[in-house]
Amino acid sequence: MATRRIYLLTRPHIHTGQSSICLSPRTQIAVQSRHNSTISSPVLSRLRPDLKKAMQNKDKTRLNVLRGILASVNDASKIGKPVENDAALLALFKQEIKMVTSAKAEALQAGRTDLVEKQDETISVLKEYSGMVSLVSEDEIRAVVTEVVQELGKGAHVGSMIGKAKEKLSGRAVEMSDVAKAIKAVIS
């Protein structure tokens, strides 16, 4: 973790005349954000250095995509749903890919081939970064699903099984469609 310098200001007490050390408001915010930030996603920690490389290489497409992703991560932390792990980051990538794909479809309808090419480049960069997120393996999914089926029994509702499996796999990057397929395979 990068260390930050904390510049301390001294203010004299009015009544005693002694100096005390106090933090400036800006430093207080920096100290608070440092203690509250827990980046456990290796892909998320890689975005800022890649942003710098994109700036140096003047790669506008990658630069715009990375700025957008980092802005989305920042916005998510402000509304109370911070991106702290790979699962949340993967969901963010999927959301961005979905938005760009719909923009591409609109550009196709309008006959704007220049925008279609731009959207294709954006989608390829987003898919590159979403591919870096390590998903839970099928063996791990099958083990969790088997455990859930043993707990709830084969006669339980599939939705409750998916919910229980989702609970056990929370915080990990997993495709819920893979979980549903594994549940159906174990039940039958």
Task: Identify the pLDDT of residue 36.
Answer: 42
In the block, residue with structure tokens 């196709």: 108
Residue 7, judged by CB atoms within 10 A of its CB (0-12, 13-18, 19+), counts as exposed
At the topology level, CATH places domain 42-132 in Hypothetical Protein Yqey; Chain: A; domain1 (1.10.1510)
Residues of the chain with pLDDT under 50: 1, 6-10, 13, 27-38
**Dist CA 136 CA 11 (whole Å):** 54
Angle 148-152-154 from CA coordinates, rounded to 5°: 95
CB-side neighbour CA atoms (13 Å) of 149: 18
**What distance lies between CA 66 and its chain's CA centroid?**
12
Q: Which helix (H) or strand (E) holds 149?
A: helix 138-152
Closest by CA to 135, choosing from 183, 91, 101, is 91
Percent of the chain surpassing pLDDT 90: 34
Task: Identify the pLDDT of residue 34.
Answer: 40
Task: Identify the pLDDT of residue 15.
Answer: 54
Mean of all residue pLDDT scores within the chain: 80
Closest by CA to 145, choosing from 180, 172, 173, 188, is 180
The string of DSSP codes covering 58-113 is T-HHHHHHHHHHHHHHHHHHHTT----SHHHHHHHHHHHHHHHHHHHHHHHHHT-H
Task: Identify the pLDDT of residue 7.
Answer: 47
For the whole model, what pTM was predicted? 0.65
